[in-house]
Amino acid sequence: MKKIGAVLAIAAMLGVVAWLGVQARDIRNERLEAAERRLQLPEAHLVNLEGISVPLRSAGGQSVVLVFFTTTCEYCRAELQAFREKAMLLKEYDVFFVAWEDRDAVRAFARETEIDTVPWFHVLRDTVSVLGENLGIHVVPTTLVYGPDGRLRKSFEGLEAIGKIVEAAAGEDRP
């Protein structure tokens, strides 16, 4: 009886290991596919704080800076305040701040960090996290910098110096 129990326990463990292996492979494949989708600025429309659909694209043949954040992230707060303080360095670029939270929470956060006061900053909501999921955004803040051609120049996960982001937008830094 003990031998049967041991065999069943080993079989169960082998089944769990096999299942975990399949799950790990699926997660890896999903992340690789998301990394490939990141290579080109997606053609997407997100909603601004007034509920208007805004296309994600360069307004005048300039680089695009796409920043994913959440209102509860202290690193996001620090990075967005740095963006606001260094806003003039980014005047030549289209800067989109993207959150997937409630409009009122995002609006309050935008006011608090004052990113809503800069005309070339666009605060948008990915209302059902489709864009974030499509691009494999798992860490905030995540900043993606696309050149005027829509191709990814550089990606940053976590808090990053604005100077490095500006360099990437200017084309001075390549992945």
Structural domains counted in the chain: 2
Residues 32, 53, single domain; the answer is no
Q: What is the pTM of this model?
A: 0.79
Q: Region 72-90: what's the mean pLDDT?
A: 94
**Which domain covers residue 131, as residue numbers?**
41-170
Average pLDDT, the chain: 85
- Lowest-confidence segment of 61-65, 85-89, 125-129, 167-171 by average pLDDT: 125-129
Q: Which two tokens stand for residue 80?
A: 């967005």
Give residue-wise pLDDT tens across range 16-52.
676 666 555 545 556 556 667 778 998 888 999 999 9
Residues 70, 86, single domain; the answer is yes
**What pLDDT was estimated at residue 175?**
46
Residue with tokens 């463990």: 13
Q: What's at 136, amino acid-wise?
A: G
Domain-embedded: residue 175: no
Kindly state the percentage of the chain with pLDDT values over 90: 59
Asked if pLDDT for residue 147 goes beyond 50, the answer is yes
Residues 137, 51, single domain; the answer is yes
**What pLDDT was estimated at residue 4?**
78
Residues 103, 24, single domain; the answer is no
Quote the DSSP letter at residue 138. Answer: -
d(CA 85, CA 91): 12
Residue 121 pairs in a beta bridge with: 95
**What pLDDT was estimated at residue 61?**
82
Residues 133, 62, single domain; the answer is yes
Sign of CA dihedral 139, 55, 42, 118: negative
Residues 33, 103, single domain; the answer is no
Quote the DSSP letter at residue 90. Answer: G
Domain-embedded: residue 78: yes
d(CA 82, CA 80): 5
